[in-house]
Chains A and B, each alone.
Chain A
Amino acid sequence: MAYENDMNLKATELRLGLPGTIDESQIKEPSFLKSNNKRSSGDMDNSANEDECSPVPKAQVVGWPPVRSYRKNVLQQQKKNFDSDVLGMYVKVSMDGAPYLRKIDIKVYKNYPDLLVALENMFKFSIGVYSEREGYNGSEYAPTYEDKDGDWMLVGDVPWDMFVNSCKRLRIMKGSEVKGLGCL
């Protein structure tokens, strides 16, 4: 991990962060220790990975811009119907226990490993190994998504293109609910 050497310095560094941002030194398990054959090749260090993946949104001030929340919802729904090659396909990502949601452009990724790495970086957690039979093994998290019919599906079951076209939002489930999925 590119930042691992700096961890001690980071702990003493003053930095501005949005409320709820987890301090990097609190990560439980550095991802490189896990064996995950879905992970993209390791010669890209983390910071480059982050640049390539979701563009970090500007820190948003509450109350700005002055747009009503129902209007934001309307727009987010409709954006998916729109010409996504031009506009990108931004979907909301929620993680159980996180204080606020994020948004990522799933069109930016080419396959599941890219997407999963980006999610791991964004929320500072690790996902585990995917298998068709058992879902995601090895962590208490499972990435799920809401499809066009409104059903919650496990990420990874369908071909990537089909996923991109049917994914409306993502949710990283945690804990006992995950075990429920694993039993299916």
Chain B
Amino acid sequence: MAYSFPEEVLEYVFAFLSSHKDRNAVSLVCKSWYEIERWCRRRIFIGNCYAVSPQIVIRRFPEVRAVKIKGKPHFADFNLVPEGWGAYVYPWISAMVRSYPWLEEIKLKRMVVTDESLELLSKSFKNFKVLVLSSCEGFTTDGLASIAANCRNLRELDLRECEVEDLSGHWLSHFPDNFTSLVSLNMSCLGSEVSFSALERLVSRCPNLRTLRLNRAVPVEKLPNLLRRAPQLVEFGTGAYSAENQTDIFSNLVEAFSGCKHLKSLSGFWDVDPAYLPAMYYACTGITSLNLSNATVQSPDLVELIIQCPNLKCLWRERELIEDMTTQVLDYIEDAGLKALPSYCKDLQELRVFPSDPYGAEPNVSLTEQGLVTVSAGCPKLQSVLYFCRQMSNAALITIARNRPNLIRFRLCIIDPQAPDYLTLEPLDTGFGAIVEHCKELLRLSMSGLLTDRVFEYIGTHAKKLEMLSIAFAGDSDLGLHNVLSGCESLRKLEIMDCPFGDKALLANAAKLETMRSLWMSSCSVSYGACKLLGQKMPKLNVEVMDERGHPDSRPETCPVEKLYIYRTVAGPRVDKPNFVWTMDEDAVLRLS
């Protein structure tokens, strides 16, 4: 029915669809809808840069304005992916330079970005507005200088947890004097000092600046000047938050913070001197997000600060904001601190507690499972948890599950691998089983502690909405993996380290892998022979063996591979593999046999 609706009407309607899932669904209705939709899609999200090629993307979507691409597997965050693995953004940028001259936004996660890429993008996209680099590496402050100098319409420059080679702080001075469009600047991961006068002038001339996250090198004395020039700030990250005893600094800070009536998010706080924390109290009533994960603040000071933030919660509007932490603290908050949270922060949605001493043999703080139990009982909106601790019990997990069936993310790291229930010395199977049984909307789960095949039975039976599962040192046999792959209908990402899973479950559930984004297995028992077989059977998957001991042919076929990364793709085997990665495909199998 080509004359049912004019194209323009359909286009107008499609413009209201922002979710990728909805757009993808629409494009499958019929050929004409596919055509109309692809011409009007402006934002694309590529969850795995090797699942598709730039050419295929550009061919299908010719009018894109915003791109988000993810590269390395998640476990790269914990040093499990060797240097030189891949995820280079340059091929994407050079292809987009030719085909998307009006590109405005690039957001990258876990990709390798070079100065050449940054320079190319800064000179090619005339209307470039937003650059967000999350956990990226490979560039220096020279690349940032290109961005500052050439992107005349830049609104956002957000460097989150990137590894930047810091040659100097001079890059910031490259923003031209007539540059006034900045809305968001996050330089918290950089080391060197920028010119404070350049920073002050930049802040003064950008009236729409709402996010400013400084780096550690900005001393606390400089904060009042900056805050006075930007009282409209909504998100602010301090630098080092301590100084030699200077009482006028404190009063200047109080005055400056009290002028910021719109602050919703605070972060930074390196080297924090608790004496300076009260300076922020005037700004705290509107605070919904507090990131204290750099602050070695003792529990009482932390509680004082949190008490000042009665509206602490999380902003829901976009997926990115969900990752904006509600409360991130080190475990110095202790059980006592966590006990205070529910009384003062009833709206808490997300809590992250990081370890202050992850490698210490003994606990250095009094943080146990009790803290989490208390928060789960008292904060009815709590839905997202990341918690590091040294002891856990099934009873606590069951309580948490019953208290908070609305949990959607639950990541628990008990620091000692395979630690049992500390009360009963049993595995934690029933505890995690309770979590998946009660929390029916659970999207993401990370488990730790002593776990047998039984926990995977529970997961396969109950975790029907689960999209991402992270497992370490768990299970007894292939039955565990089989239960997950056959039972978890919504599973997209599965990452496994140091588990006794081998060939059987993987080969029996090969088809499942095509419905997922990726599977990571390291230090497991999957043999080279099984990998070859899988690569042969499943042409739509890239089955990549990663092994720093040399070519797997130099070892018997039954020898387990070091690391295995399997992902679905329409782009065929990678062409940029390093010498420790091999793709198991038909050609390879024939060549090697």
Residues on A lying within 8 angstroms of B by beta carbon are 55, 57-58, 60-72, 74-75, 77-79, 81-82, 87, 103
Contact = CB atoms under 8 A, between A and B. Distances in A.
A67 B376 CA distance: 23
Interface string B343-356: 00000000000111
Interface in B351-403: 354-359, 361, 364, 388
Nearest to B74: A66
Contacts of B413: 65-66
A62 B79 contact: yes
A72 B78 CA distance: 11
Interface of B is mostly: loop
A61 B497 CA distance: 11
A57 B388 contact: no
B361 A57 contact: yes
A47 to B, nearest CB: 19
Given A57-B361, A58-B361, A75-B356, A65 B270 contact: no
Nearest to A72: B358
Given A61-B417, A78-B270, A69 B364 contact: no
Which of A55, A62, A103 counts the most chain B CB atoms within 10 A?
Answer: A62
Contacts, number: 71
B293 interface: yes
Interface string B455-470: 0000000000000001
Given A63-B522, A81-B271, A87-B364, A70 B79 contact: no
Contact of A65 (B189, B356, B358, B470): B358
B77 interface: yes
Contact of A63 (B161, B356, B497): B497
Given A65-B358, A65-B415, A74 B270 contact: yes
A141 to B, nearest CB: 26
Contacts of A66: 77-78, 413, 446, 470, 472
Contacts of A55: 361
Given A63-B78, A64-B497, A78-B271, 18 more contacts: A57-B361, A58-B361, A63-B80, A63-B497, A64-B472, A65-B355, A65-B413, A66-B78, A66-B446, A66-B470, A67-B78, A67-B354, A68-B78, A75-B296, A75-B330, A78-B296, A79-B296, A87-B357
16 contacts: A55-B361, A57-B361, A60-B359, A61-B498, A62-B78, A62-B79, A63-B472, A64-B498, A67-B355, A68-B78, A68-B161, A69-B79, A75-B296, A75-B358, A79-B357, A103-B359
